[in-house]
Structure 1
Amino acid sequence: MLDSPLIIAGKTFQSRLMTGTGKYRSVEEMQQSIIASGCQIVTVAVRRVQTKAPGHENLAEALDWTKIWMLPNTAGCQTAEEAIRVARLGREMAKLLGQEDNNFVKLEVIPDAKYLLPDPIGTLEAAEQLVKEGFAVLPYINADPMLAKRLEEVGCATVMPLASPIGSGQGLKTTANIQIIIENAGVPVVVDAGIGSPSEAAQAMEMGADALLINSAIALSQNPAAMAQAMNMATYAGRLAYLAGRMPIKNYASASSPLEGTITS
């Protein structure tokens, strides 16, 4: 079955799985996992690169940026003002790595240190300003259908609702709201945060999500490269199942074989 490519802000991608660069035990595991995932978009925490945080010291050289599209993110920002400033740094970082036309930013405004839940008001404020500055904004949000629609209206390139708290591995806890967001969105919906297993990844895609962003479930697994490959396959399987259309659910049994022509004694 032929599928259309994923298009974000006019740029075309064949893979519907995005991955990250954090939490890996080594740079080598990160490199192997990104290759195994088949992804074309990789998120990079701008602040961690700027401060040369562990695992991010040589990130610029660790990946082939001619093949992977960088998605700078504003992780660690607690206010809209901070996020806007870091987004600008991220755009310059992408240019230094040869991606002159890269205006993408994954917008995160998270003042909540315990649950890491995004601030809806700060996110909307930052998104409005960044869109004005020509950014392709991919906002990380709670699974709030009204906020998702408002962000789309101000010009965001996608919406990225969480499935459950980031890094928790709790799986799809916001299914009903994500379904509403998918039904009403005119931009790609990327399910982000909380997915812990390939079965959950497949389920999110079966719902009609356009793409997934998965980091912790891969990086914190016992074999990240193998898990990355599994997530790749699950993303594809879920997308194919969505396009195929599942059978209707019934309250009663339905025989697989017809009763006509059966042998009677």
Structure 2
Amino acid sequence: MNEKLTIAGKELSSRLFLGTGRYPNPYVQNKAIEASEAEVLTFAIRRVNLTEPNEDAILQHIENQSFHYLPNTSGATTAEEAIRIARLAKASGLSDWIKIEVSRDEKMLIPDPVETLKATEVLAKEGFVVLPYTSDDPALCYRLQEAGAAAVMPGGSPIGTGLGILNPYNIELITEQLKVPVIVDAGLGNASDVTQAMELGADGVLLNTAIAKARNPVMMAESVKLAIRAGRLSYVAGRIPKKKYATASSPVRN
């Protein structure tokens, strides 16, 4: 269980990727980050002052600067927009890791499969460490891997809904067939959702709203950290097969 998550040669002790938006204040944000023990923090590039990233209102509140940043292209509606945003972030010295988010649907924020694949192909060829946020379509996730994604991030359900994993069958297919890490992103609402994701074989999870908007974000961050460990341990241990009929744990011998 000391096995680390490795993405593009970067070893991570924590399997939790944490969003930095929607917290009630910077103090609660920092305490939640501390409780979570997350090493990767993600944020929308459009919310960051790229001319002075180290002085930005978001990043300056993060006391410990040893985190690995995963900026995202939230707000992009085309591959071209996402590519431009990613290049700006890299040029500013922020990070060469990029989470691709491309969506035309403002109501559901469902990832655009065609534009997401286009952006992934271009940025991977340019040397970015690309982690595309996508739907739970196994075929599309496989195509993203082929396009050069360093990890693939299928959503459990639409962003911020807290509906959990709506299609566990697809998530399990994705974790079984992909060779790159699978990070379940979007829609997870609590610790039990996180445990389920890990038991389905996910290599990690990304949460923001579930922690930031909880009644007690710090306590929720702690529970998510423990849920990841429990789910991963359960997955590695291996569950018993599901059966239609009962089997006595202490059979009677005749």
Q: Verify same fold: TM over 0.5.
A: yes
For 1:13, the equivalent position in structure 2 comes to: 12
Structure 2: state its 5+ residue gaps.
none
C-alpha contact (below 8 Å) 2:50/2:88 kept by paired residues: no
SS at 2:48 equivalent = helix
Aligned residues: 251
For 1:243, the equivalent position in structure 2 comes to: 236
Matches of 2:64 and 2:74 in 1, distance apart? 20
The 5 Å alignment of 1:5-154 reads: 5-50=4-49, 58-64=57-63, 66-93=65-92, 95=93, 102-154=95-147
Task: State the shift of 1:65 in Å.
Answer: 5.5
For 1:99, the equivalent position in structure 2 comes to: none
SS at 1:181 equivalent = helix
Matches of 2:176 and 2:84 in 1, distance apart? 33
Matches of 1:112 and 1:252 in 2, distance apart? 45
Mean alpha-carbon deviation: is it higher for 65-74 or for 129-138? 65-74
Deviations 1:173-201 (A, max 9, x none): 02121111111101000000000010011
Matches of 1:218 and 1:65 in 2, distance apart? 19
Identity rate, percent: 48
The one-letter amino acid paired with 1:88 is R
Matches of 2:82 and 2:170 in 1, distance apart? 26
Q: TM-score, normalised by structure 1?
A: 0.90
C-alpha contact (below 8 Å) 2:50/2:89 kept by paired residues: no
Matches of 1:76 and 1:58 in 2, distance apart? 19
C-alpha contact (below 8 Å) 1:72/1:91 kept by paired residues: no
SS at 2:205 equivalent = strand
C-alpha root-mean-square deviation of aligned residues, in Å?
Answer: 1.9
For 2:217, the equivalent position in structure 1 comes to: 224
For 1:179, the equivalent position in structure 2 comes to: 172
The one-letter amino acid paired with 1:29 is V
Matches of 2:181 and 2:232 in 1, distance apart? 13
Larger Rg: 1
Q: TM-score, normalised by structure 2?
A: 0.93
C-alpha contact (below 8 Å) 2:48/2:58 kept by paired residues: yes
For 1:170, the equivalent position in structure 2 comes to: 163
